[in-house]
Amino acid sequence: MGELSEVPVGVLISGSGTNLQALLDACAEPDSPAKIAVVISNRPGVYGLERAREAGVPTVVAPHRDHPDRRTYDAHLVSTLRAHHVQWVALAGFMRLVTSTLLDAFPQRVLNIHPSLLPAFPGLDAQGQANAYGTTVAGATVHLVDEGMDHGPILAQGVVPAEPGEPVETLKQRILQMEHRLFPMVLRWAVEGRIQTEGRLARIDLPPGQRRWLI
Ligand code: GAR
């Protein structure tokens, strides 16, 4: 795939950026149809910014506290993303709710990864919630973002075993490994134009041999 046809993607982060790293690595492959055009963090000094710099990707620190409300903040995100010609947005550990100001600018083009098998355990500390509940499987979900929290149409899910009573950190790491497989796969489907939605159901024109779930 030549550089001209690579679809520019913006990645929003708040932290260490291991999912960002998985996306950067996938986009560095010679046949990648996507390229990361900008990485935006709402928190300064996070390790994800360093990962982006190492990969030669432009970074922007956009502290949400610099803006009076969510919409003004999201308008700032939109102008930053547009300045980098972004066509798809990936929330990779971006711990903020987004508003229609962002979603209307990128309709059905904002992806999020969440560390649970949605609709179970939306919100903060999903892995801790699953662990405390005693589930025997856990996992991760990539979905299109809407205004609800961890709510939009599900695109793909990855399942991992969970041991009731295990340390939550081991569960977190197991889910994270799954996230790193899942997110690049779905981003590729997205930029290849394989995703359509009907209400809250997504239809995906899957590449041969691929499925919407991983184990
Ligand atoms: C990931 O586990 C991601 O699924 C989660 O934050 C972590 C970020 O890790 N996101 C959410 O909980 C969103 N609701 P990373 O910075 O190493 O990619």
Domain ranges of the chain: 1-107, 113-215
Cβ contacts of 47 within 8 Å, gap of 6 or more: 15, 16, 17
Pick the CATH number of 1-107 from 3.90.1260.10, 3.40.50.170, 1.10.3720.10, 3.30.365.10: 3.40.50.170
169 Cα–ligand 1 center, Å: 13
What pLDDT score does 67 carry? 97
Q: How confident is the model at residue 202 (pLDDT cuts 50, 70, 90)?
A: very high
Q: Are 163 and 189 in contact (CB under 8 A)?
A: no
As given in the structure block, the two tokens for residue 80 are 């930053």
For residue 92, give the ligand 1 atom closest to its CA: 18
Kindly state if the Cβ of 90 falls inside 6 Å of ligand 1: no
Q: Check if CATH label 3.10.20.740 holds for domain 113-215.
A: no
Evaluate whether 7 touches 33 at the Cβ level (below 8 Å): yes
Asked whether residue 64 carries a pLDDT value surpassing 90, the answer given is: yes
Predicted confidence (pLDDT) at residue 5 exceeds the cutoff of 90: no
Please tell me the distance between residue 125's alpha carbon and the centre of ligand 1 in angstroms. Answer: 9
Residue of 114, 143, 151, 180 marked active site: 114
Annotation says 76 is catalytic: no
Sign of dihedral through CA atoms 93, 96, 98, 101? negative
Closest-lying ligand 1 atom to the alpha carbon of residue 112? 13
Atom of ligand 1 nearest to the CA of 22: 18
Nearest CA to ligand 1 atom 5: 93
Residue 150 Cβ inside 6 Å of ligand 1? The answer reads yes
pLDDT tens, residue by residue, 36-55: 999 999 999 999 999 999 99
Let me know if the fold of 1-107 is the same as that of 113-215: yes
CA neighbor of 166 nearest in space, from 124, 136, 123, 122:
136
pTM listed for this prediction: 0.97
Per-residue pLDDT at 100: 98
